[in-house]
Every structure is written in C-alpha cells, then in structure tokens.
C-alpha cells in the first residue's frame, strides 16, 4: 500500500492484507455474527469501511438500508448470505462469532486496525460507529466528497501517509 492510494482503496488493501494472514478460522457461514440482536454485538466501522460498504450497496442498486424486525444486519439477505460480502467490514472479517473461533487476537491484527484508524482520520471520521449508523451516514455522503482524493490527483490523497 502507498499513501497515494485513494482512501477507499487503502481500506480494500487492508482487507486483502487480512486475507493473506491465513489466521485459522472455523466459519461455516451460519450468519450468527450477522444477527446483532441475537448475539448482542454489532460491528463498529471506521468511516472508510462504511464508505466501502455503502459503495457496494449502491452498486447493487439500493440507496437505503433498513434494520430487519429480528434485529439482524441490514445487509443479511433472505438466503442467509451477506449482500456486500466482498465489501464487508473488518469486524465481520475478524469474526467476533464464538462459533467461528472467537475474535482474532488483537496482536494479530493491531497494525491493520491502526491503518483503518489512520484512513478514518484522513476522511474526517471520529472513530468506530455502529454499522447501521455508519452506513446510513455513508449512503448519504456525496460521492464527490469520498472521491476527492483521486479527483485532486495523486499525492493529494487525504488518507493515510500523506
Ligand atoms: S455486513 Fe455482511 S457479514 Fe457483516 S454482519 Fe452484515 S451481513 Fe453479516
């Protein structure tokens, strides 16, 4: 990753770096971690993560999210599949679900969390926000604001490593 990348590409690079770590997981796609009310936990997203998720949701032709009556994630489809799987947030990837082996040890991913926090600062974020609030705000953010780094040209990116 370089500091010249667009902030949202930097977020995607963090996701790829996580995938390359080969940390052993036991996820069997039960979607338990997506049932926020049932498991009592909701992922918190940095602004960059929320914008990446919102972009993916918009790309599928949708403009809003709504929380299902059972309190599950708004992105969880009727078939039990994540509607933004490739763009799912970091917290979904580190599996806070106990059935998948519990959360990643912080030491295994601390550097990646720091990268997300630095991107968040560059985007004017204020730290982790719960998924529903973070994505709702991101969906209402004009694209020109999130694209400003790339539109101003290389070297003017407001994300990490300015
Ligand atoms: S974003 Fe996808 S993986 Fe994460 S909680 Fe929602 S449905 Fe589950």
Mean pLDDT of 94-114: 76
pLDDT of residue 27: 66
CB atoms within 10 A of CB 50: 27
Domain annotation covers residue 110 = yes
Percent of the chain's residues with pLDDT above 90: 54
Q: Which atom of ligand 1 is nearest to the CA of 53?
A: 1
Q: Which domain holds residue 55?
A: 7-151
In a domain, 156, yes or no: no
Residues 149-160, mean pLDDT to the nearest whole number: 33
Q: 2-11, 142-151, 153-162: which has the highest mean pLDDT?
A: 2-11
pLDDT at 157 (0 to 100)? 27
Is residue 41, in this structure, part of any structural domain at all?
yes
For the whole prediction, is pTM greater than 0.85?
no
Tell whether ligand 1 has an atom less than 6 A from the beta carbon of residue 75. yes
Q: How far apart are CA 162 and CA 7, in angstroms?
A: 11
- In the reported structure, the alpha carbon of residue 26 is separated from the centroid of ligand 1 by a whole-number distance in angstroms of 16
Residue 37 alpha carbon to ligand 1 centre in Å: 13
- The alpha-helical segments, DSSP class H, found in the chain are 7-19, 36-39, 47-59, 90-93, 106-122, 131-139, 143-146, 148-151
- How far apart, in whole angstroms, are the C-alpha atoms of residue 44 and residue 34? 13
Domain contains 157 = no
Span from the CA of 155 to the centroid of ligand 1 (angstroms): 33
Instruction: Say how far apart CA 149 and CA 159 lie, in whole Å.
Output: 8
Whether 11 is in the pocket of ligand 1, judged by its Cβ within 6 Å, is no
Residue 129 sits at φ, ψ, to 5 deg, of: -130, 145
Please give the pLDDT value at position 25.
64
Say whether 1 sits in a helix, a strand or coil. Answer: coil
Calculate how far, in angstroms, residue 21's C-alpha sits from the geometric centre of ligand 1: 21
Confidence class for position 148, pLDDT limits 50, 70, 90: very low
Nearest residue to 142 via CA among 28, 32, 55: 55
Centre of ligand 1 from the C-alpha of residue 162, in Å:
31
69-102 pLDDT, tens digit each: 999 999 999 888 899 999 999 988 886 666 666 6
Q: Three-state SS for 105?
A: coil
Q: Give the number of domains in the chain.
A: 1
Residue 103 lies in a domain: yes
In a domain, 62, yes or no: yes
User: What pLDDT shows up at residue 23?
Assistant: 66
pLDDT one-digit tens code per residue, 34-64: 989 888 889 999 999 999 999 999 999 999 9
Is residue 22 a part of any domain in this protein?
Answer: yes
Measured between alpha carbons, how far is 53 from 132 in angstroms, rounded to an integer? 11
Mutate to test the pocket of ligand 1, among 88, 94, 139 (most ligand atoms within 8 A of CB): 88
Contacts of 21 (CB under 8 A, 6+ apart): 108, 109
Q: Is residue 162 part of a domain?
A: no
Cα–ligand 1 centroid distance for 151 (angstroms): 30
Residue 33: the pLDDT is 82
pLDDT at 156: 28
Q: Is the CB of 88 under 6 A from ligand 1?
A: yes
**Average pLDDT of the segment spanning 126-136:** 96
């Amino acid at each position: 990753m370089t500091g010249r990348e667009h902030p949202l590409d930097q977020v995607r690079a963090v996701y790829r770096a996580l995938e390359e770590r080969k940390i052993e997981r036991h996820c069997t796609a039960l979607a338990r971690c997506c049932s926020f009310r049932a498991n009592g936990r909701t992922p918190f997203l940095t602004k960059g993560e929320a914008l990446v998720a919102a972009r993916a949701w918009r790309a599928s032709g949708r403009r809003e999210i709504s929380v299902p009556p059972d309190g599950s994630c708004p992105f969880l489809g009727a078939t039990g599949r994540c509607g933004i799987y490739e763009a799912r947030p970091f917290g979904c990837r580190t599996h806070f679900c106990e059935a998948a082996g519990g959360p990643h040890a912080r030491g295994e991913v601390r550097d990646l969390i720091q990268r997300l926090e630095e991107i968040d600062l560059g985007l004017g974020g204020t730290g982790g926000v719960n998924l529903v609030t973070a994505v709702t705000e991101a969906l209402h953010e004009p694209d020109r604001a999130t694209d400003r780094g790339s539109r101003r040209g290389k070297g003017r990116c407001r994300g990490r490593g300015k």
